[in-house]
Amino acid sequence: MYQRRDFYRHSRYLHGWLSAFAFLTLLFFSVTGLLLNHPEWFEPAKTEQMTTVTLPKSILASIKQQENPSDTILNYVRQQHNLVGRYHSSEVMDDEVMIRLESPAGATDIWVMTDSGKTEITQKPASTISMLNDLHRGKNSGLAWSWLIDISAIIIIALSLVGYILFLSIKTRLITHLVLTAVSLALIMVLIWSAV
């Protein structure tokens, strides 16, 4: 008897402790999920911005001696321009280097002709809504945000399980709660079936 009472008491404490963090993350992912489901509600992302620059001879001489000069090019271009995104990939082909930057804030492509130093920088900033949607998906958002998504999911799962234990702990309404559970599961299965 006492063990069961202690179990439910600890469940209530755990439910209370997890609620503050879970509330904020659940609110964020619910709102961004709604926005993700209705992209037609908002304006499209801003148009691309293109800039052409020429690398100085000192940089050109340096990159011609490197197998993959992406870091050198990127460091120089970042000093001259505000770029959108973090390093994602690069490719070296004969006298050309292509560097791709991506983040929820947008993307940048840098195309360098290593024989002449001509460099094209194409930036596509994200709209606020597309940035929130990328954060919701965890797309190009980095390791820290990926950890936040995982921790949020684990806490919300724990909170849901503890809440469900408390939900079933009310003996006078156990039959009603089990019926609600069965109806909810049936409704979810029907919606899954209709979606696939």
Q: Give pLDDT, residue 48.
A: 81
Q: How far apart are CA 159 and CA 30, in angstroms?
A: 16
* DSSP type of residue 41: G
Q: What is the model's pTM? A: 0.64
Coil/strand/helix, residue 120: strand
Tens-place pLDDT, residues 146-181? 888 888 888 888 877 877 777 777 777 778 778 877
Q: How far apart are CA 45 and CA 129, in angstroms?
A: 8
Q: How many helices (H) and strands (E) does the chain have?
A: 6, 5
Contact between 135 and 129 (Cβ < 8 Å): no
Cα 123 → chain centroid: 20
* pLDDT less than 70: residues of the chain: 1-2, 4-5, 8-9, 11-22, 43-46, 196
Maximum Cα interatomic distance, the chain, rounded to a whole number of Å: 82
Query: 94, 53, 51: which is closest to 73 by C-alpha?
Result: 53
Give domain limits for the chain.
Answer: 2-42+130-195, 49-126
Integer-rounded Cα Rg, in Å, for the chain is 26
What is the end-to-end Cα distance of the chain in Å, rounded? 47
Q: Give pLDDT, residue 121.
A: 93
**CB-based burial of residue 77 (10 Å sphere; 0-12 exposed, 13-18 middle, 19+ buried)?**
buried
